[in-house]
Structure 1
Amino acid sequence: MGHSTKLRTLFAVTAISSGLALTGCGGDDGKDGQDGVDGASVSAGSQQLDVTTSGFGIPEDAIFVAPDAVDGDDITDALAAALFALPDDALVVLPKGRFTVSQTITVNSASGLTVTGYGIHETILDFSQSTGDDAIRFQGGVDITIRDLGVYEAPKNGIKATNVNGIRMAYTATVWEGALEANNGAYGLYPLQSQNVLMEHNYAYGSADAGIYVGQSNNIVVRNNTAKNNVAGIEIENSTMADVYNNLAVGNSGGILAFDLPGLEQAYGGNVRIFNNEVYANNAANVGSGAVGIVPPGTGVLVFATSDVEIYNNRITDNDTAAIEIASYFLADSDVANYPANYGATMTNGWSPLVKNVYMHNNTIARNSTNPQGVLLADIITGYTTSANATGMPQTFPAIMYGGIGELLSNAGQLAGFDALVGPEAQADGVDYDAYAAADLICANSNINANPAPDYNEVNTGLVFSTNPADLTVDGAGNPVPNLLIDPMVNNTYLNCTQNRLAPASVNIGNKVYGCAGDDLAEAACSL
C-alpha cells in the first residue's frame, strides 16, 4: 500500500477516533508438517512492539484501535472505522481492557485480515448494551484470523463468519456470564457456509445453542478448545471433512454433536472424526429450542442423522444419560408416511433421516448412564425401566445407545419408495434407502470399560430397535415396537463389527496446511 493511501486512510479513521495508526501487515503461524511459530511478520524498519498471552507478536506498524482507551470506554466507532475498507493482509490490534461495543461489527470481504487483542482475559468486548444481533460478523473474504480476545454477552451470536474461504478463530472466548438460560445468546463461535475452517484454543461458555459450532462447511479442524456450560458444547452440522480432537467438553447438556438437519442449503455432511477428546459431566439442563432442544441432558457424544462418523480414543465419563448416542431422524419425527411430503425437497438434495457407517472404538467409558433423561429418549427410558426386570436386562442404562429404527425399516423394505426422491448427485454420493450393507453398519468394539468395582459390569451397549426385519412388530397404530436389546459393552454382541477408518481432514489458510495432514503430523492424537 502506497504512502499517500496510508495517509488518506489514517485521516479518515482519525476523524472518528483519535489514536489509530494504519499500516497493513500480514503473518500467521503454522507450516506443513511442523508446529509453526505464532507471530506476525515484522516489516523492514519495524520492530515487535508487544506480544499477546498466546505468544503472538504485534509489530509497531499494525493498525491499533483506540490504544488510549480505558476500561468501560465505548470503542464501537473506533473499531468499526478500523475494520472498514481494509487493505489486504491487515493486522488490526484491539486495546487491553474491558470495553463496550454497542452495535454489530461487520467485516465484508476481507483478504488476509488478522484481528487480535492481547488475550482472552486481557481484551474483552462487552456487547451487553448492543442493539445488533451478532457481536462480530465476517461476511465473505479469504484467509481471515480472529484471535486473543473475548466477546461477552452478545445479543444473539458471538463471532459469526459466513461464506469465508479460510477462517481461523484462535485463543478467543465467547461468554454469557451467569447461569445457562434460554435468553442467553445462541451460538458462540459460529462459522457457517465456509471452507477451510480452523477453530483452536478457544473457550465457549453459556451458549443457549452451541458454544463452538461449524455448519454447512467443508474442510474443518476443531482442536484444543474448551466448551463449558452450553447446551451443545461442540457441534458439527451438515458439514464434510471435519476433525474434532484434543478438546474438552464439560458441563454442557450435550458434549460433542454431529447433526444433519433437513432443509439446509448444504443438505448433508459426512467424514466427521471425533477423537482424543475429554467429554465429562455434560449434565446441564437443556434450555435450548429448535433441533438442539431435543438433545438429552447428560449426553457425552450424539450423532443425529449424520453418516460416516468415526468416534475413537475419547475419554467419556460422568454423563448422566449416555456416553454415546446414535439416532436417525426417525427418533425425532416418527411419521414415516409423511416424509415425502414434509421433507421431499431436501431428500432430493441428499438429506437422509438415516444414520450409516458410524464406528465407535477405543473410547474409555466410565460412570455414565446413572440418571437417563430427556424428551428425545423419554419413551425409551420408560420402556427400559418397566421391562428391565421382566426381561432380565441389566439395570444400568446403556452407555452406548443406538436407535436402530432407520436401519430396521430399511432392512424390512419399508423405505424403498424413498429411493425415487434421491437426486443424481446424492445418488453418486451413495445416498439410498436400501437394506444396510456391511459398509453401512453402526459398529462398536474395543471400547474400554473404566468403571471401578463393584460397578465394573454395568457398562452396556443397547439397541432401541432390533435391526433384524424378522423382529419387526407394530402396535395397533402401525408403529414399530421397540425391542430394547442390551448387552455388556465389552465383548458386545449387537454392534460387534468394524469399519474402514475415515480420512483425516485438513485446512488450508494462506497456503499453510493445518490438522493431522498438516501442522499436526507429529501430534500424538493424529497417530491413533
Structure 2
Amino acid sequence: MRKLLISLAIGAALAGCGKHEAAPQNATDASFEAKLQEQLLDAKPGSVIDIPAGHYSLKRGLSLRTDGVTIRGAGMDKTVLSFKGQVVGPEGLLVNASDFTIENLAIEDTKGDALKINQGKNITIHGVRIEWTDGPKTTNGAYGLYPVKTQNVLIEDSVVIGASDAGIYVGQSHNIIVRRNRAENNVAGIEVENSVNADVYENTTTKNTGGILVFNMPNLSLHGEATRVFRNKVFANDTDNFAAKGAAVASVPAGSGVVVNSNDKVEIFDNDIADNKTANIIIASYFSTNYYNTRGVAADYNPYPKGIFVYGNRLKGGGDSPDGIKLKTLKTAMYGLTGSFPDVLWDGYVDPKNLVDGLPPAADRICIQDVNGVLSADGPHDYKNPSKDMKPFACTLPKLPPVVLNPEPKI
C-alpha cells in the first residue's frame, strides 16, 4: 500500500528549541497537540507521521489504535515531546496496534509510563530517548519503553533515563531483541520479564539500581524462558533504589549488575560487568524479592531459577559495599570489613522436590564458569550457613539459539 505521508506544519518559533528548554503552553502548543492527536486518530495503515524538529509541550496523553503506522521525528535531541505539564492521561503515548514503528524523537517527563505498547506484533523502537529531566525520583513514571504482551519486538539505539521502575521493559512477550541502547539512572536499566526468546546485547547500563534484570513474576499470562544476555557493558549500577513501595523492583539492591530471578534457560556471556557494589551477577528466587502478591501465587508458578549458564564474561570489582543490613553483615562475616563478595551471589534456594543426589536435574542446574567465585548465601536459613563451594556449579548447558524476528524490521 502506498504510504500516506502526513506532515505536521509547526510554527517556526518552536523549531530548534533546546531539548530541556521549557516552551510556553500557548496557542501554538495547543494547536500542535490537537493536530497530532487528530493525525493519530485519523491514521490509516501505511501512514507516516513526521514531526519536525522542535520542543513541544503537551498536556494530554496521546494514543494510537491503527496498525501499520510510523511516527518519525528529526532526532532524539531535535524532536522533543515534553509532558512536563501533563494533566490528562497516565501515559505519554499509548499504542494498541501492530506493525508499529517509532523513531528519532524524545518523550520527556510523562506523568506515568512514557511509551506503552500493548498487545501488538512487529514493533520497532529506534533512536528514541525517554527522560525524566529532574533526575531519579519516585514520582517519575514507572516505565520508559514498555512493550507488553507483544510479539516480534525490536528496541535499538535508544536512551532511557530516570524511570522509577524499568527504563527498558519487555513483559509477557515473544521474540525480542534489545540492542545498542543506553539506560542510566533508572531503578532497572533493562528488564525482560515473563517473556520467551529474548536477545539483550550491546547495551550500556550504568548508574541504575540494577543493570539488566531477567525476571519471572507470579500470576502473569506467560512463563518466561530463553533469554540471552551478551556483549553488554554493565558497570557502576549503584543508584539508591527509588521505586514505589510495593513494586517488584523495590527489593533490587542498589549495586546489582545482572540479576536473574526465577527465570529459566538464561545465558549470560561475553559481557563486561564491573564495579556493581552489591554483586556483579545475582541469581535468585522469588523468595528473595520481598514481593508477595496479595492474591497469592498460582499453583503452577515455579519460583526457582533453572538452567542458568554464566560463562566467558569479563568481570572486575564490585561486591565491596552491598546494599542492606543482611547483605552487609554477610559480606563482613565471609570476607571481612575490607573484602568483597565474589563475582556471583546466589540466594541458595532450590526446589527440594527436584533434587537428585543433592543436585537439580542436568537441564535445570546453575552452571558458572570464568568467575572468581560464587557465594551461596543460604537464604532459606537466613544466611546462617553460606558456602563458597564452586563444585555444584561446575557444569555446562546447551547454548540457546539466536532470536530471529520475522519479518525482519526495515530501518
TM-score by length of 1: 0.70
Provide the residue aligned with 1:501 in structure 2: 399
Pairing partner for 1:464 from 377, 384, 398:
377
1:357-407 deviation line (CA, Å, top 9, x unaligned): 000000000111111114xxx434323423556xxx993212211112124
- Cα distance in 2 for partners of 1:244, 1:284 equals 22
Q: Which has the higher strand share?
A: 2
Provide the residue aligned with 2:18 in structure 1: none
What is the CA distance between 1:408 and its match in structure 2? 5.4
1:151-188 deviation line (CA, Å, top 9, x unaligned): 00000011110010111111001000122111111100
Is the CA contact 1:398–1:486 (under 8 Å) kept in the aligned structure 2? no
Provide the residue aligned with 2:92 in structure 1: 135
Provide the residue aligned with 1:16 in structure 2: none
Provide the residue aligned with 2:170 in structure 1: 214
Pairing partner for 1:373 from 298, 323, 328:
323
Residues 1:64 and 2:7 aligned together:
yes
Aligned residue type for 1:284: T
Is the CA contact 1:297–1:321 (under 8 Å) kept in the aligned structure 2? yes
- Secondary structure of the residue aligned to 1:368 is coil
Is the CA contact 1:254–1:298 (under 8 Å) kept in the aligned structure 2? yes
Residues 1:274 and 2:229 aligned together:
yes
Aligned residue type for 1:464: A
More contact order relative to length (CA 8 Å, sep ≥ 6) = 1
Percent identity among equivalent residues?
Answer: 33
Q: CA RMSD in A?
A: 2.6
Which residues of structure 2 form unaligned runs of 5+? 15-22
Provide the residue aligned with 1:360 in structure 2: 310
Residues 1:485 and 2:383 aligned together:
no
Is the CA contact 2:255–2:322 (under 8 Å) kept in the aligned structure 1? yes
- Cα distance in 1 for partners of 2:80, 2:200 equals 27
What is the CA distance between 1:446 and its match in structure 2? 2.8
Residues 1:305 and 2:248 aligned together:
no
Moved more, 83-92 or 393-402: 393-402
- Cα distance in 1 for partners of 2:218, 2:9 equals 45
Is the CA contact 1:234–1:255 (under 8 Å) kept in the aligned structure 2? yes
- Secondary structure of the residue aligned to 1:292 is helix
1:448-469 deviation line (CA, Å, top 9, x unaligned): xxxxxxxxxxx43211139xxx
Pairing partner for 1:347 from 279, 299, 302:
299
Is the CA contact 1:195–1:219 (under 8 Å) kept in the aligned structure 2? yes
Distance of aligned partners of 1:305 and 1:69 in 2 relative to their CA distance in 1, 3 Å threshold: farther
Task: For 1:136-175, list aligned pairs within 5 A.
Answer: 136-139=93-96, 141-175=97-131
Is the CA contact 2:248–2:291 (under 8 Å) kept in the aligned structure 1? no
Moved more, 170-179 or 66-75: 66-75
Aligned residue type for 1:126: S
Provide the residue aligned with 1:205 in structure 2: 161
Which residues of structure 1 form unaligned runs of 5+? 2-23, 26-60, 414-433, 448-458, 467-473, 520-528
- Secondary structure of the residue aligned to 1:263 is coil
Is the CA contact 1:380–1:464 (under 8 Å) kept in the aligned structure 2? no
Pairing partner for 1:104 from 61, 68, 71:
61
Q: Which has the higher helix share?
A: 1
1:492-527 deviation line (CA, Å, top 9, x unaligned): 43422111101211222xx3368xxxx9xxxxxxxx
TM-score by length of 2: 0.89
Is the CA contact 2:321–2:340 (under 8 Å) kept in the aligned structure 1? no
1:389-444 deviation line (CA, Å, top 9, x unaligned): 6xxx993212211112124574399xxxxxxxxxxxxxxxxxxxx96101110011
Aligned residue type for 1:397: F
- Secondary structure of the residue aligned to 2:360 is coil
Query: Which structure's CA Rg is the greater one?
Result: 1
Task: For 1:316-465, list aligned pairs within 5 A.
Answer: 316-332=273-289, 342-343=296-297, 346-348=298-300, 351-374=301-324, 378-386=325-333, 388=335, 395-407=339-351, 410-411=354-355, 436-447=360-371, 459-465=372-378
Is the CA contact 1:69–1:95 (under 8 Å) kept in the aligned structure 2? no
Distance of aligned partners of 1:368 and 1:435 in 2 relative to their CA distance in 1, 3 Å threshold: closer
- Cα distance in 2 for partners of 1:480, 1:111 equals 51
What is the CA distance between 1:484 and its match in structure 2? 1.3
